[in-house]
Structure 1
Amino acid sequence: MKEAKGTPRDASVGAARPKNRKYVLLRLWRYLARYRWLLALALLLTLASNLFGLVGPMLSGYAIDAIHGPGDVDFSAVFLYAGLMAGFYLLASLLAYILSRLMIRLSQKVAFQMRKDVFDHLAELPVSFFDRTQTGDIVSRISYDIDTVNASLSNDLLQICTSLITVVGSLAMMLLIAPVLVTVFAVTIPAAILFTRYMTRRVRPLFRRRSARLGELNGYVEEVVSGHKTIRVYHQENTVISRFDGKNTEAVEAYYNADYYGSMTGPSVNFINNLSLSLVSVMGAVLYLFRSISLGDLSSFVLYSRKFSGPINEAANILSELQSACAAAERVFHLIDEEPEPADAPGAEELADVLGDVRMEHVRFGYLPGQTVIHGLSLHAEPGSLTAIVGPTGAGKTTLINLLMRFYDPQAGTILVDGKDISTLTRRSLRRAYTMVLQDTWLFTGTVYENIAYGKEDATLEEVQRACRAAYIHEAILRLPQGYDTVLTGDGSGLSKGQKQMLTIARAMLLDSRMLILDEATSNVDTQTEQKIQRAMRELMRGKTCFVIAHRLSTIQNADHILVVRGGDIVEQGTHEALLQRGGFYAQLYHSQFQ
């Protein structure tokens, strides 16, 4: 599809104000809630694994207290507690392994569903969305951003749950052992929380910017790769490299800033936690000297304090990764929240038994407010007629086709098919009534037969070959290594532009539609072949309404009706001979091509 004239092309989707973090987390929770039983099992395994791990420090204290002094050691108790510690830690590790596998499975399900939702929604978006959005940015959201969310769910979510259980359990055990020592954390923990909150607010926009810059970089790379031949023809390699270096630098700087400030949080909180351990050791030693705490309890308290402080430090690091995941999820949800193509009108009817009578009455349209492209245009294409639309670039020829297919709706006026206003018809039935061949060929990875039978899945090989003969591509296909079973890759690499275009024309000939649209469909074939194809299509499409947009006026001399469009208006119309005799704008266009 050509880029619509006058439509803005944004580097990223969703220029609206970003959703807040709570909203993004709520949307992610809705995905997780679809697998609530797996999530419940994961929470149960997390609780069991961490509780078993919390028993270890207590058993360590018991083992130390079993040593009463030199020569006074209860070895049976020491070995018992040591064995129990090993057993509990082994069981905790086993449950943690099962939990990690479960979380990977859960995150993959969520990522699969997100990708499905995004791709399904893409199929519902209007053509205007793709006219203003870079393909590379869309691909970046489907791949990189969802992968970021997937990694966060499989690792960070598990770590948060583990940290929460460990912190609560360790705090409870420390309160049982020595409530006085817990007062140390009354100062260090608020300091860590306040610092983490401050850094989170500062880092969040940086991660959002990082995802946006990566999307822009992917979009630029996609444009360069698709147009590499043009770049070489115009010797713009250095210019392209220079622009890429600029965008790459912006992406690297965005990555660096996000990772730099994000990585500051962990070490800073770790310093605060180490300070708390130092204070615990000093105060614990004083309490031990005054016999207010046993050596075993002090050892257990220190171990629990390590467990208590460790998750807080990990949480600071995890928050940085969560900022990245939230920014990525935000971009994905912006895409999902894009307005789909408007629904059919209530009570819209199916277009059936199509005759092909098309009318446009006083149609006015503009892609942007205040910028009208079509001004009060009217035309009538009778059933079975061939209507050619000609005019200079930017005159509104392709816009007419967009309106006929209801890719866009006019701001004023009416478009009728068989006397029915197309706004009262279902879009699906209207578009199925047309067969369309664009100037830009589109072939997918698959056999030649599959590419031609794309719009008619039940087509037989004989029907495909008949269409290919009519399109003058049959002999070229037979010269391929496996004929019609040859697999085309890379958008038909190995075929010339003309051959690829004739394949798409054969695809159109195969369909049994009552109306045909050719948008510069033969621009890549030579004039002689084009005339043959036009005659073949005229015979094959006898009784069907055809619209042809053409620059080479010699190819439309047999058209029943020629519309000359200029500045969004039909300035002349009639047959080829009549328009030439009139000596107007059409005659100027025609003679200019032969001078």
Structure 2
Amino acid sequence: MKTGGGPVSTSFERPSIKVTVILGRLWKYLKKFKWMLLLAVALSIAGNLLALVGPKLSGHAVDAIHPGPGGVDFQSVFFYAGWMVVFYIVSAVLSYLLAALLVNLGSRVVYEMRRDVYEHLMRLPVRFFDSHAAGEILSVLSYDIDTVQASLSNDLVQMLASVITVLGSLWMMLTISPPLVLIFAVTIPCSILFTRYRSIKVRPLYRQRSINLGKLNGYTEEMTGGLRTIKAYHRQEYFAAGFEKKNAEACEANYQADSFSSATGPSVGFINNVSLALISLFGALLYMSGSISLGSVSSFVLYSRKFSGPINEFSNIISELQSALAAAERVLRLLDEPEEESDPADALPLTEVQGNVELRDVSFGYQPGVPVLQHYNLTAKPGQVVAIVGPTGAGKTTIINLLMRFYDVDSGVIFVDGCDIRRIRRGDLRRAFSMVLQDTWLFTGTIRENLTYGKENLSEGEVIAATKAAKIHDFIISLPAGYDTILKEGGSSISKGQKQLLTIARAMLLDAPMLILDEATSNVDTQTERVIQAAMLSLMKGRTSFVIAHRLSTIQNADVIAVLRNGCVAECGTHEELIQAGGYYAELYQAQFDTAEQYSDFE
């Protein structure tokens, strides 16, 4: 139910969260699986240390080769080469186990995160969904969380391996030739400063990419939902142009982020290659002076590649990390959305509901300074049928939102059985109402599941009695699987009128003491409307009922008809009283009567 209240906005565009805060909150998920993390660290250390032994053995093999014929000690060469193969094989196996472990870890973390986001969505107030596009929310649930998973599964592997490899290679190089290590005292700070500068610049670009992609998803979801209307008005080109704009903005943001970050890797690679050239130059000088063996120079070169390689890799994955941080920020933004206020500790239960409802001097607006209801007063006695009519935008559906506490009043009080509803438990209050709305909602599942999801442990007889009363039983049993027929995509395989009849039957099965009908017969033809009127009257007996209707013929028998104009009750009374008064209601009724006569001329 769209409840009004201003344009769709996005809270995901607020100032960015600090990286340390994002990492700290992600750690709360990771620490739940600390034993897997410790095992991953152990595998990373073991695998990389074994790989670090290779260059040392390679240097010993090179030193076993002497100038001149017959100067090669093949026994030593084969010995060191054989051990190199063993160490590299074991290292590769451990690296595979590490990758598999981290993929599992990433999946578990994302499972927890997606579950938390979904459960948080269920606790958010209706106001949030009125001001956020559904496609953007889905983008956070799918794309952004998947981006975080990819980073945890892939980037975490590389980062763990990089730290071990860099530290291990540095130690090995120090044992071979400390003077040559001094070359990195110049090149490594250059790489670090350059990478840091680029990461600071690229993060806002990836943040904008996520925002634009969310907008594109929101626009796509909205357009696909209204595709029939778009085709009916032949506005495909117009909305295609809108999609083209959103798509171009998303692609441009993606290009800006990726193109800016893609230059980081080659630049850092160039710095590392300069360091390799300097090592080769000064290593040759040290060899000629007899300060180092040829095998040691060879080992040092290999270790320098291992040392600078992870730094270069880190600069390559910095874009992925920034993308993951931007995605994680949007996820955390959603988790930070304030939930619907919990019931106070002294909230009262609502039992044995009589159905006495009073709205006393109620004022409310979806946006500050834009009132929808002003000093509104209405009383519904137990068992009464109260019809609410008025022009579009008068605040009819707003009253329903306030009764259900989807929103709270700005001023005034709403009473149920003499108690302020703000003091009643929300769950008890909402269970006291059953609703049939203009916008029907059915989920993917059997017809029986859709009928009984509001109330458990219903017998087959109760279900059939309700569907018969709603005049939908004959249609259901005509289906191949009857009540076990699967409804897909919100009941797209049945007509709007049939969906409405199912929701009416569902409301009957809930058997709540109060009833809300918001244009409940708007999607059925006149003949069907007349058929279900008797069923609706039977449903309303003994229940306090609020009926919102545009077709005044459906509410002539209401006990009280409240006419809304400009956010206030302009008239109130029975149908006969209001007709005799000759006011706005009489004008509405006469206008509909004249329209009905005009249409009858064509029959």
TM-score normalized with structure 2 length: 0.97
Q: Could you tell me how far apart the structure 1 residues matched to 2:111 and 2:432 are?
A: 35
Computed over aligned residues only, the root mean square deviation of the Cα atoms, in angstroms, reads 1.0
Contact 1:470 1:536 (8 Å CA) reproduced: yes
Superposition pairs of residues 460-479 of structure 1, within 5 angstroms: 460-479=459-478
Identity of aligned residues (%): 59
DSSP-derived class of the 1:113 partner = helix
Q: Could you tell me how far apart the structure 2 residues matched to 1:109 and 1:351 are?
A: 40
Q: Could you tell me how far apart the structure 2 residues matched to 1:527 and 1:568 are?
A: 30
User: How far does the alpha carbon of each residue in 1:238-259 deviate from its partner, in whole angstroms, 9 at most, with x for none?
Assistant: 1111111111111111111111
Q: Could you tell me how far apart the structure 1 residues matched to 2:504 and 2:332 are?
A: 38
Contact 1:519 1:550 (8 Å CA) reproduced: yes
Matched, 1:347 2:353: no
The residue type equivalent to 2:93 in the other structure is: L
Contact 1:509 1:537 (8 Å CA) reproduced: no
> Which residue matches 1:142?
141
DSSP-derived class of the 2:123 partner = coil
Superposition pairs of residues 393-472 of structure 1, within 5 angstroms: 393-472=392-471
> Which residue matches 2:247?
248
> Which residue matches 1:68?
66
Q: Could you tell me how far apart the structure 1 residues matched to 2:481 and 2:456 are?
A: 21
User: How far does the alpha carbon of each residue in 1:276-328 deviate from its partner, in whole angstroms, 9 at most, with x for none?
Assistant: 10110011111111111100000000000000010000010111110000000
The residue type equivalent to 2:2 in the other structure is: K
Contact 1:14 1:338 (8 Å CA) reproduced: no
DSSP-derived class of the 2:593 partner = coil
Superposition pairs of residues 40-79 of structure 1, within 5 angstroms: 40-70=38-68, 71-79=70-78
The number of equivalent residue pairs is 593
User: How far does the alpha carbon of each residue in 1:539-584 deviate from its partner, in whole angstroms, 9 at most, with x for none?
Assistant: 2332111000000001000000000011110000000010000000
Alpha-carbon offset, residue 16 of structure 1: 3.2
CA pair 52-188 structure 1, distance change in 2 beyond 3 A: same
Contact 1:363 1:413 (8 Å CA) reproduced: yes
> Which residue matches 2:165?
166
Superposition pairs of residues 580-591 of structure 1, within 5 angstroms: 580-591=579-590
> Which residue matches 2:564?
565
User: How far does the alpha carbon of each residue in 1:351-375 deviate from its partner, in whole angstroms, 9 at most, with x for none?
Assistant: 1111111011111111111111110
The residue type equivalent to 2:195 in the other structure is: T
Q: Could you tell me how far apart the structure 1 residues matched to 2:455 and 2:216 are?
A: 38
The residue type equivalent to 2:301 in the other structure is: V
The residue type equivalent to 1:28 in the other structure is: L
> Which residue matches 2:2?
2
The residue type equivalent to 2:15 in the other structure is: R
DSSP-derived class of the 2:360 partner = strand
Alpha-carbon offset, residue 14 of structure 1: 3.4
Q: Could you tell me how far apart the structure 2 residues matched to 1:570 and 1:17 are?
A: 44
Contact 2:385 2:540 (8 Å CA) reproduced: no
Contact 2:12 2:211 (8 Å CA) reproduced: no
User: How far does the alpha carbon of each residue in 1:210-244 deviate from its partner, in whole angstroms, 9 at most, with x for none?
Assistant: 11111001001100111111111111111111111
The residue type equivalent to 2:275 in the other structure is: S
Matched, 1:38 2:36: yes
> Which residue matches 2:337?
338
Q: Could you tell me how far apart the structure 2 residues matched to 1:246 and 1:461 are?
A: 53
Alpha-carbon offset, residue 21 of structure 1: 1.2
Superposition pairs of residues 54-453 of structure 1, within 5 angstroms: 54-70=52-68, 71-453=70-452
User: How far does the alpha carbon of each residue in 1:155-198 deviate from its partner, in whole angstroms, 9 at most, with x for none?
Assistant: 10111111011111101111110111111111111111111111
Contact 1:348 1:426 (8 Å CA) reproduced: yes
Contact 2:3 2:398 (8 Å CA) reproduced: no
Alpha-carbon offset, residue 76 of structure 1: 1.6
| Residue segments in structure 2 that go unaligned for 5+ positions in a row | 595-603
Q: Could you tell me how far apart the structure 2 residues matched to 1:17 and 1:358 are?
A: 44
DSSP-derived class of the 1:436 partner = strand
Q: Could you tell me how far apart the structure 2 residues matched to 1:88 and 1:579 are?
A: 94
Q: Could you tell me how far apart the structure 1 residues matched to 2:520 and 2:541 are?
A: 18
> Which residue matches 1:483?
482
> Which residue matches 2:601?
none
Alpha-carbon offset, residue 346 of structure 1: 2.4
Alpha-carbon offset, residue 13 of structure 1: 3.2
The residue type equivalent to 1:318 in the other structure is: I
Alpha-carbon offset, residue 15 of structure 1: 4.3
Contact 2:384 2:545 (8 Å CA) reproduced: yes
Q: Could you tell me how far apart the structure 2 residues matched to 1:75 and 1:153 are?
A: 46
> Which residue matches 2:516?
517
Q: Could you tell me how far apart the structure 2 residues matched to 1:20 and 1:236 are?
A: 44
Q: Could you tell me how far apart the structure 1 residues matched to 2:489 and 2:588 are?
A: 37
Contact 1:449 1:461 (8 Å CA) reproduced: no
Bigger Cα displacement from structure 2, 537-546 vs 287-296? 537-546
| Residue segments in structure 1 that go unaligned for 5+ positions in a row | none
Contact 2:13 2:211 (8 Å CA) reproduced: no
Q: Could you tell me how far apart the structure 1 residues matched to 2:539 and 2:304 are?
A: 84
Contact 1:345 1:423 (8 Å CA) reproduced: no
User: How far does the alpha carbon of each residue in 1:335-388 deviate from its partner, in whole angstroms, 9 at most, with x for none?
Assistant: 011000011122101111111110111111111111111101111100111000
User: How far does the alpha carbon of each residue in 1:464-510 deviate from its partner, in whole angstroms, 9 at most, with x for none?
Assistant: 11111111111111222211111111211221111111111111111
Q: Could you tell me how far apart the structure 2 residues matched to 1:559 and 1:526 are?
A: 21
The residue type equivalent to 2:64 in the other structure is: A
Q: Could you tell me how far apart the structure 1 residues matched to 2:6 and 2:528 are?
A: 35
Alpha-carbon offset, residue 22 of structure 1: 1.2
DSSP-derived class of the 1:35 partner = helix
Bigger Cα displacement from structure 2, 308-317 vs 475-484? 475-484
Matched, 1:20 2:18: yes
DSSP-derived class of the 1:548 partner = strand
Contact 1:163 1:312 (8 Å CA) reproduced: yes
Contact 1:141 1:332 (8 Å CA) reproduced: yes
DSSP-derived class of the 1:594 partner = helix
Q: Which runs of 4+ in 1 moved over 4 A?
A: none
The residue type equivalent to 1:228 in the other structure is: L
Q: Could you tell me how far apart the structure 1 residues matched to 2:243 and 2:296 are?
A: 62
TM-score normalized with structure 1 length: 0.98
Q: Could you tell me how far apart the structure 1 residues matched to 2:319 and 2:2 are?
A: 41
Alpha-carbon offset, residue 453 of structure 1: 1.1
